[in-house]
Amino acid sequence: MAAAFVLPASSAAAQSTGDVDVNAVQSRAARELSCLDRVSRRLQRKVELMRDAQKQMRRARSDSAARKDAARAVQALEDRVRELLDESAECIEEQAGGSAGTAERTEDGRRVVYVDPPPDPTAEAVAHRNPATDVVQKNDRLSDNVEVERGEKVDGHGRVDQASVKTAVQAIAPRLEHCYGGLVSRGALERGTAILVFTVTPRGRVKKVGVEQARIGGPGFQRCLTAAGRRLRVRAGSRGGDATYSYTLRFGPASE
């Protein structure tokens, strides 16, 4: 876990005036702003649609189908807004030499710097000898209709505490269950598998979330799973580099 150091405001100011590669920052900022502009435009459209749906709920009769349709639209838009907010965070690129840590300010104006722990030579050596498969979970039911058939690290030299990964996946179980519930409510296939793929960075961020080889549902269901995956929060970052995970999820009631 990262260590925290509290610096007085004067020290923070001194750090901010240190050497900086202006050309690199300028280039990075151009890419980040372009990405943020795109996400912002899409987010604004979703806000407008949510506002329209809210007006429809207010105008419609309390028991009308139109009011229920508007409520469902809001639920779908909420998921999309969450995705876009995560996308906006991903627009900000990792800086070279980022191991110095992240920072924020306390209420009294002091600066707290969170510094990543030093690399663990033993863990890195193990990672380099076997950078791929590392089973984390197997045949582990998360909820009534969601089971981890197999969860494993499939790429990257990073190493993440397995308990942290399992806890993070368990935390999004209600969202995965919600995705399945929406599928069943439309009379779709009741059982099937899909692979949720995600990458954990040394800072504990989860990126490159996607769904592969889905044998249940359609594009809407896959988008719902991806949105759920973007809510993963891994308590501890990876050591020695990024770590990519593949989780084969089985959807449907447990077999008798």
Q: CA-based angle 199:203:206, to the nearest 5?
A: 30
Provide the 8-state DSSP code for 112. E
Instruction: State the pLDDT at residue 61.
Output: 85
Instruction: State the pLDDT at residue 124.
Output: 41
Q: Considering only 31-35, 118-122, 231-235, 243-247, which range has the smallest mean pLDDT?
A: 118-122
**5, 46 in Cβ contact below 8 A?**
no
What is the mean predicted confidence (pLDDT) over 8-32? 69
Instruction: State the pLDDT at residue 43.
Output: 87
Share of the chain above pLDDT 90, in %: 29
pLDDT over 80 (residue 148): yes
Residue-wise pLDDT tens digits, 50-84: 898 888 888 888 888 888 888 888 888 887 787 77
Provide the 8-state DSSP code for 156. -
What is the mean predicted confidence (pLDDT) over 234-238? 82
Residue-wise pLDDT tens digits, 94-127: 554 433 344 444 444 444 443 444 444 433 433 3
Residue-wise pLDDT tens digits, 24-53: 888 888 888 888 888 888 888 889 888 988
Strand 111-115 to strand 102-105: parallel, antiparallel, or no bridges (unpaired)? antiparallel
pLDDT over 90 (residue 227): yes
**240, 119 in Cβ contact below 8 A?**
yes
Instruction: State the pLDDT at residue 95.
Output: 52
pLDDT over 70 (residue 90): no
- Domain ranges for the chain, please list them: 3-105, 118-251
Of 251, 235, 56, which Cα lies nearest the Cα of 160? 235
**Residue 196 parent element (H or E):** strand 192-200
Question: Hey, what are 162's tokens?
Answer: 């397995």
Instruction: State the pLDDT at residue 212.
Output: 92
Instruction: State the pLDDT at residue 122.
Output: 38
Residue-wise pLDDT tens digits, 165-174: 999 999 999 9
Q: Which residue has the tokens 């084969």?
A: 248
Q: Which residue has the tokens 């104006």?
A: 109
Mean pLDDT of the chain: 77
Pairwise pLDDT comparison (17 vs 245), residue with the higher score: 245
Residue-wise pLDDT tens digits, 150-186: 999 998 888 898 999 999 999 999 999 999 988 887 7
